[in-house]
C-alpha cells in the first residue's frame, strides 16, 4: 500500500472560546441547555464550559487504500492488497522496502459527496484560492550559523532564534544584490526558501549588540538542498500524484508567513498587529490571525482565521508595576517585593541608558538596594574575567562615569539579568519588550470579560476581520513577497453550498415513565424535559452527602435535599433520603491523608447502614478548590466511590434547571439512560453488536517539561442505545501522541463489553481525537496495527473503521445571507460541507452539529482513515450527527462526537490524578512512598492511575 504523506500545519493554542461555547439556558423550562465542555463536575448551573487546551497540529491529511506507494496513479490494482481488511493477517515484511510497500494509507472518498439534506445553504468559507505558476521552482537552502570564537575558548554559545534572524538580516542588508530579502523566506532556524538562486558557501557576518558593546563575528554557511518544482503540487492537486509533496507545501507556507513575521508580533503560529485594546493593569488585548495553506478540491487555498491574545504593554518597568499591582508605590517598595518579583521574573526588557537592541531576561531582584550594589572592575584589555577579590566599583558611580546618568531611585533593588556575570541594571532604565504574552488565567474579572468578549466575535465581525487581514499590508499577502514567488491569492472567500441534515427523533419517558417519541426544535435542536422523564432512571437507595461548607457559605440541606429528591423523582429516578450527611470543612482538602481517611470512613459507615455499597456521594463545596483533584483521585482510584460535586451557592438557589443538570449527571454515572434515539444508527441496522471507541491524549502545558502525557480510551458498553461508556486511563511518555498499548486497552474494553452483553461486538468504530495529518501514518500503521495484533491474539476479528475528529483547525463557515443561517448569524446545526473545501480525493468532511449561541460556530473536521463498513458520505455523516444527540449531560447536540468528547474528559481526569500525586501526599494515604511515587511517575507506572474495580465500567468522568 502507498505510504501516507501529509503537510504539518499550524495548530492554534490561543484562547478562542468562540470555537465551542455552550449556552447557559434561556429559561427554567429548558433542561441542560448547555453542552458542558467543562472538565470538572462542579455543577454551576446550565451547561458547563471549558476549553480543550492542548496544542495540536493541522487538519487535513492523506487517505487512500489498496495501492502501492507509487509516484502516479495507475489502473493496476493488486487484488490481495485491495481486499485487505483488519481481520486479515498482514504478511511478514522481508525488508524495509517491503515494509514501506505494506504501509496502510488513509481512505479515498467513496463517492462525490453526500446528498441527504432537509435543505441546502449558501456559505462563505475562510479559504482564499491560491494560484501559482506550475513551471516555477523554489530554491531550498540549508543554513548553518556558528560564531567565530578564539581557539582558546573551548565552548561555542548557543545562538537563539532572535539572534539568527538578526544575523540573517545583517548578511542580506550588507549584500542586497546577492541576497534580496524580498525574494526569500526564512524559518528562523535552518531553512531559507528563495525565488531565485542564492550564492552558496560560508560568509562572515559581523553583528554589534549596540553602542559600546562588543561586535561578534559569525560564519553563515548556506547550501542548496533541493529545487522544489511546483509542477508536482499541481499533479497532486489534480490526483495524478499519490503522495503529498510536503516539502513544496512547507516552502510555500513559509513564504506566506514571511511578511507577517517581519511586520507583526508572532506568538507560536499566530500573528498580532501592533494595534491593540488596553484592558487594564498594564495588559493589552490584540486581535490577530493564524493561517496556513491547504490542498483542497478547488486547488490550493489560504485558510486564515481570527484569534485574540493578551500581552503585557511595552512600557517602562516602574510604570508597569504602578499599573499592574494595586496600591504600588516606589516609596513602599519592600511592602510589595514578593508581588513585584512574581510579576517580573522571566520577562524580557531592553535598556535605555545606552543605544542597543539587545534584550535581557529578568532573573530576580537584587538582594540589596541600588545604592549598596557593587561589582568587580573589569580591565578592557584583559580577556580573563575579573578576580573575586579584586577592586570593586559602586553601581551609582559606574552609571555616572560610564553613561553620565544619575540614578533617581537609589533605595529600591535593581534587576539582575539571566547570565553568569553580575549584570545589575536599575529599574528606571528598563523597558518591557513588546509582545510578551500574558496568561489568560491570571487576568482579573473585568480584563477576562473584555478578552472573552473580543474572542467571541459574531460571525459578521469575524468574517470582516478575516477579509481585512487577508488584504492588509501586515497580512500574508502584503509586502510583495508572495507575488515574487509567482503566487497570487484571490481576496474573496470561497463560496460553497452546504447541506443541512435533519435531526433524529428521540425517545424519553412521559410523566408515568412510558417511553414516548419527541422531535427537537429544528433551528436550535434543543429539547426539554419539562413534564417528561428519562428513558431509564436508576433508583437511588444508598447515597450520602459530604458537606464541606461548615463555617462558610453553608449548605441549606433542609431545602436542597428535598428539592433534589423531588427533581430526580420527576425525571423517573426514585430517590430515597440520604443515608447520612457528614459535615466537614474546606480545610480537609489541605491533607490528602485526612481526605482519604474521611472517604474510607464514610464508605464503611454507609455500607453498614445501607446494607450495600454506596451508590454515589454528593460532595458540596463552598467554592472551587485545588483539593478537587485529590478528591477525585482518592475516590476513583483508592476508595471506589462515585462522587458528584456541586457548589453550595448554586445548590442553595435550587433552580429547576440546575437540579435537572445534577440529575442527568448522577443518572449517567449510575448507569442509567437519559435519552436515546428512536431509530437505529445509520449503517448498523442489522443484528450484530457495534462498539464505538474514542481515544485522546492529554498533554502537559508548554512550560512543563517532565510530566507524562495522559491517554484515555473510552468505549460503549451497550447496544443498540450505545450511550453508556467505560474508560481506561494511563500515562505515557511526555508529549507523545501515540498510545503505545492501544490494542491491549481496546481489548480490555471489548472483554468488559462481552462480560456485560455475553457477546463480543462484531463491528468496532474508532474515533481518534487530536492528531494532525502528519500523524495519520502513526494512527494507521502503529495504533491500528497494534489493535489488530491484540485482537488476533484472542482469535477476534471484528470489522473496523477509524475516523479522526479534529477541532483544532482554522476553517470557518459563514452564512451568505440571513436566510442561510440562524437567528444569531451562525450556520444551522446539522450543516455539513463535503465539496470544494475538502481534500481533493480523500474522505473528509466538515460537520457543525451544535447550535452556536455565542461567537462564531466552528465545525468539526472528520477524516476517515480506514473503513471496513463501506460507509457512504451520507451514511457516516448521519451516523455522527445522530450520535451527537446522545451526550449524557445536556439536552442538545454537542459539537463533537461523544466518544471523542468523553475520551477528552477522561484524559483530563487522568491529568488531575497526576497533579494530585505531585501536589503532595502522605505515604499512608497512597500506598506508595513519596520517593517511589515520584519515580513511578517518571517510569510511567500505571498503578497510581488505575481505576478502582467499582468504577471500571462507570461513567465517572461525566
The predicted-structure confidence for 480-539, as pLDDT tens digits, reads as follows: 999 999 999 999 999 999 999 999 999 999 988 899 999 998 788 999 999 999 999 999
**Radius of gyration, alpha carbons of the chain:** 30
CA distance 768 to 255: 32
CB 451 within 8 A of CB 288: no
CB 698 within 8 A of CB 771: no
Round the average pLDDT of the chain to a whole number and report it.
87
Q: Is 240 a residue whose pLDDT tops 70?
A: yes
Distance set, CA 170 to CA 52, 143, 458, 601 (Å)? 42, 15, 44, 71
Task: Give the mean pLDDT of 135-157.
Answer: 80
Q: CB atoms < 10 A from the CB of 377, how many?
A: 12
The contacts of residue 701 (CB under 8 Å, 6+ apart) are none
Burial class (CB in 10 A: 0-12, 13-18, 19+), 951: buried
Report phi then psi at 216, rounded to 5. -115, 140
pLDDT digits (tens, 9 = 90+) for 617-671: 999 999 999 999 999 999 999 999 999 999 999 999 999 999 999 999 999 999 9
Which residue shows C-alpha cell 572592575? 377
CA distance 656 to 668: 18
pLDDT digits (tens, 9 = 90+) for 338-354: 999 999 999 999 999 99
pLDDT digits (tens, 9 = 90+) for 816-861: 999 999 989 999 999 999 999 999 999 999 999 999 989 999 999 9
Q: Is 91 a residue whose pLDDT tops 50?
A: no
Q: Is 296 a residue whose pLDDT tops 90?
A: yes
Residue 419 has what pLDDT? 82
Task: Give the mean pLDDT of 369-388.
Answer: 73
Q: Is 151 a residue whose pLDDT tops 80?
A: no
Closest to 830 in 3D by CA, of 108, 101, 116: 116
Helices 930-938 and 898-919 cross at an angle (nearest 10°) of: 140
Residue 479 has what pLDDT? 95
Residue 86 has what pLDDT? 40
Point out which residues pair with 803 in neighbouring strands.
767, 864
pLDDT digits (tens, 9 = 90+) for 901-935: 999 999 999 999 999 998 865 444 445 554 445 44
Q: Is 288 a residue whose pLDDT tops 70?
A: yes
pLDDT band at 101 (very low <50, low <70, confident <90, very high): low
Residue 908 has what pLDDT? 98
Q: Is 116 a residue whose pLDDT tops 70?
A: yes
pLDDT band at 264 (very low <50, low <70, confident <90, very high): very high
Q: CB atoms < 10 A from the CB of 175, how many?
A: 14
Task: Give the mean pLDDT of 28-40.
Answer: 45
Alpha carbon of residue 337 to chain centroid: 35
The contacts of residue 464 (CB under 8 Å, 6+ apart) are none
- Cell numbers found for residue 872: 457512504
Point out which residues pair with 222 in neighbouring strands.
143, 201
Top mean pLDDT of 41-50, 681-690, 738-747 is at: 738-747
Residue 214 has what pLDDT? 73
Q: Is 89 a residue whose pLDDT tops 50?
A: no
Residue 373 has what pLDDT? 94
Helices 656-669 and 557-570 cross at an angle (nearest 10°) of: 70
Bridge-based pairing of strands 616-621 and 580-583 is unpaired
pLDDT digits (tens, 9 = 90+) for 557-582: 999 999 999 999 999 999 999 999 99
CB 768 within 8 A of CB 805: yes
Burial class (CB in 10 A: 0-12, 13-18, 19+), 324: buried
Average the pLDDT over each of 368-382, 767-781, 816-830 and give the range with the smallest value.
368-382
Percent of the chain clearing pLDDT 70 (strictly above): 85
CA distance 61 to 244: 9
Residue 33 has what pLDDT? 40
pLDDT digits (tens, 9 = 90+) for 857-884: 999 999 999 999 999 999 999 999 999 9
Residue 26 has what pLDDT? 32
The contacts of residue 199 (CB under 8 Å, 6+ apart) are 178, 179, 222
CB 874 within 8 A of CB 882: no
Q: What angle do CA 695, 700, 701 make, to 5 degrees?
A: 130
Amino acid at each position: 500500500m502507498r505510504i501516507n504523506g501529509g503537510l504539518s500545519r499550524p495548530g492554534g493554542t490561543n484562547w478562542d472560546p468562540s470555537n465551542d461555547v455552550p449556552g447557559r439556558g434561556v429559561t427554567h423550562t429548558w433542561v441542560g441547555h448547555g453542552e458542558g465542555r467543562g472538565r470538572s463536575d462542579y455543577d454551576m448551573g446550565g451547561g458547563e464550559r471549558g476549553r480543550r487546551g492542548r496544542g495540536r497540529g493541522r487538519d487535513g491529511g492523506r487517505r487512500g487504500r489498496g495501492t502501492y506507494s507509487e509516484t502516479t496513479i495507475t489502473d493496476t490494482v493488486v487484488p490481495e492488497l485491495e481486499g485487505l481488511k483488519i481481520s486479515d493477517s498482514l504478511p511478514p515484511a522481508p525488508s524495509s522496502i517491503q515494509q514501506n510497500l505494506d504501509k496502510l494509507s488513509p481512505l479515498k472518498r467513496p463517492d462525490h459527496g453526500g446528498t441527504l439534506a432537509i435543505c441546502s445553504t449558501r456559505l462563505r468559507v475562510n479559504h482564499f484560492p491560491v494560484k501559482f505558476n506550475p513551471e516555477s521552482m523554489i530554491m531550498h537552502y540549508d543554513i548553518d550559523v556558528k560564531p567565530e570564537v578564539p581557539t582558546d575558548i573551548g565552548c561555542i554559545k548557543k545562538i537563539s532564534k532572535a539572534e539568527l534572524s538578526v544575523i540573517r538580516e545583517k548578511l542580506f542588508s550588507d549584500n542586497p544584490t546577492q541576497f534580496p530579502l524580498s525574494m526569500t523566506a526564512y524559518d528562523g532556524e535552518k531553512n531559507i526558501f528563495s525565488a531565485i538562486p542564492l550564492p552558496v558557501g560560508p560568509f562572515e557576518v559581523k553583528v554589534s549588540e549596540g553602542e559600546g558593546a562588543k561586535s561578534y563575528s559569525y560564519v553563515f554557511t548556506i547550501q542548496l538542498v533541493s529545487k522544489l518544482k511546483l509542477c508536482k503540487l499541481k499533479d497532486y492537486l489534480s490526483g495524478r500524484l499519490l503522495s503529498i509533496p510536503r516539502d513544496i507545501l512547507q516552502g510555500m507556507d513559509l513564504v506566506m508567513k514571511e511578511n507577517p513575521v517581519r511586520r507583526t508580533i508572532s506568538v507560536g503560529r499566530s500573528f498580532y498587529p501592533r494595534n491593540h485594546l488596553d484592558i487594564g493593569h498594564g495588559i493589552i488585548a490584540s486581535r490577530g490571525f493564524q493561517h496556513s495553506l491547504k490542498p483542497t478540491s478547488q486547488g490550493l487555498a489560504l485558510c486564515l482565521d481570527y484569534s485574540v491574545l493578551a500581552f503585557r504593554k511595552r512600557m517602562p518597568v516602574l510604570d508597569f508595576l504602578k499599573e499592574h499591582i494595586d496600591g504600588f508605590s516606589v516609596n513602599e517598595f519592600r511592602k510589595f517585593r514578593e508581588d513585584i518579583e512574581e510579576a517580573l521574573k522571566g520577562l524580557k526588557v531592553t535598556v535605555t541608558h545606552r543605544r542597543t537592541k539587545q534584550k535581557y531576561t529578568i532573573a530576580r531582584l537584587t538582594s540589596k538596594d541600588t545604592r549598596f550594589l557593587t561589582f568587580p572592575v573589569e580591565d578592557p584589555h584583559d580577556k580573563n574575567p575579573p578576580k573575586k577579590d579584586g577592586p570593586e566599583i559602586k553601581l551609582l558611580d559606574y552609571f555616572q562615569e560610564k553613561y553620565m546618568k544619575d540614578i533617581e531611585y537609589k533605595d529600591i533593588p535593581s534587576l539582575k539579568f539571566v547570565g553568569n556575570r553580575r549584570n545589575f541594571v536599575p529599574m528606571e532604565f528598563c523597558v518591557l519588550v513588546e509582545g510578551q504574552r500574558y496568561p489568560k488565567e491570571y487576568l482579573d474579572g473585568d480584563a477576562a470579560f473584555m478578552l472573552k468578549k473580543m474572542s467571541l466575535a459574531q460571525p459578521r465581525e469575524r468574517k470582516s476581520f478575516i477579509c481585512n487581514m487577508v488584504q492588509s499590508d501586515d497580512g500574508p499577502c502584503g509586502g510583495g513577497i508572495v507575488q515574487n514567488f509567482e503566487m497570487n491569492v484571490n481576496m474573496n472567500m470561497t463560496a460553497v453550498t452546504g447541506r443541512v441534515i435533519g435531526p433524529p427523533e428521540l425517545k424519553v419517558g412521559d410523566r408515568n415513565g412510558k417511553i414516548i417519541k419527541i422531535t427537537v426544535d429544528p433551528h436550535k435542536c434543543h429539547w426539554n424535559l419539562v413534564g417528561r422523564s428519562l428513558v431509564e432512571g436508576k433508583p437511588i437507595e444508598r447515597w450520602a452527602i459530604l458537606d464541606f461548607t461548615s463555617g462558610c457559605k453553608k449548605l441549606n440541606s433542609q431545602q436542597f435535599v428535598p428539592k433534589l429528591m423531588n427533581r430526580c423523582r420527576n425525571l423517573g429516578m426514585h430517590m430515597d433520603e440520604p443515608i447520612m450527611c457528614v459535615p466537614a470543612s474546606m480545610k480537609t482538602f489541605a491533607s490528602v491523608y485526612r481526605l482519604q481517611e474521611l472517604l474510607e470512613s464514610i464508605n464503611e459507615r454507609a455500607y453498614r447502614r445501607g446494607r450495600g455499597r454506596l451508590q454515589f456521594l454528593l460532595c458540596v463545596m463552598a467554592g472551587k478548590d485545588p483539593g478537587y483533584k485529590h478528591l477525585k483521585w482518592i475516590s476513583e482510584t483508592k476508595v471506589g466511590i462515585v462522587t458528584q460535586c456541586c457548589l453550595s451557592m448554586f445548590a442553595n438557589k435550587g433552580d429547576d434547571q440546575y437540579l435537572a443538570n445534577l440529575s442527568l449527571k448522577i443518572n449517567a454515572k449510575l448507569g442509567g439512560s437519559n435519552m436515546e434515539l428512536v431509530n437505529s444508527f445509520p449503517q448498523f441496522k442489522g443484528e450484530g453488536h457495534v462498539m464505538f471507541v474514542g481515544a485522546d491524549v492529554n498533554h502537559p502545558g508548554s512550560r512543563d517539561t517532565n510530566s507524562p502525557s495522559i491517554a484515555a480510551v473510552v468505549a460503549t458498553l451497550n447496544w443498540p442505545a450505545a450511550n453508556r461508556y467505560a474508560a481506561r486511563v494511563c500515562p505515557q511518555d511526555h508529549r507523545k501522541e501515540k498510545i503505545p498499548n492501544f490494542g491491549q486497552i481496546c481489548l480490555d474494553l471489548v472483554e468488559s463489553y462481552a462480560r456485560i452483553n455475553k457477546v463480543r461486538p462484531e463491528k468496532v468504530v474508532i474515533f481518534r481525537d487530536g492528531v494532525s495529518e502528519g500523524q495519520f501514518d502513526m494512527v494507521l500503521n502503529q495504533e491500528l496495527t497494534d489493535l489488530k495484533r491484540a485482537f488476533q491474539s484472542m482469535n477476534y476479528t471484528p470489522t473496523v473503521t477509524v475516523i479522526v475528529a479534529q477541532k483544532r483547525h482554522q476553517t470557518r463557515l459563514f452564512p451568505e445571507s440571513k436566510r442561510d443561517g440562524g437567528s444569531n448569524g451562525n450556520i444551522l446545526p446539522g450543516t455539513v460541507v463535503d465539496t470544494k473545501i475538502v481534500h481533493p480525493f480523500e474522505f473528509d468532511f466538515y460537520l457543525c452539529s451544535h447550535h452556536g449561541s455565542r461567537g462564531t460556530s466552528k465545525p468539526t473536521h472528520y477524516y476517515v482513515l480506514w473503513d471496513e463498513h463501506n460507509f457512504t458520505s451520507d451514511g457516516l455523516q448521519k451516523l455522527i450527527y445522530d450520535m451527537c444527540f446522545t451526550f449524557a449531560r445536556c439536552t442538545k447536540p454537542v459539537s463533537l462526537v461523544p466518544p471523542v468528547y468523553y475520551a477528552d474528559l477522561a484524559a483530563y481526569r487522568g491529568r488531575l490524578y497526576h497533579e494530585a500525586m505531585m501536589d503532595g501526599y502522605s505515604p499512608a494515604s497512597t500506598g506508595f512512598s513519596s520517593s517511589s511515587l515520584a519515580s513511578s511517575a517518571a517510569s510511567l507506572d500505571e498503578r497510581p492511575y488505575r481505576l478502582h474495580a467499582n468504577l471500571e465500567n462507570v461513567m465517572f468522568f461525566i
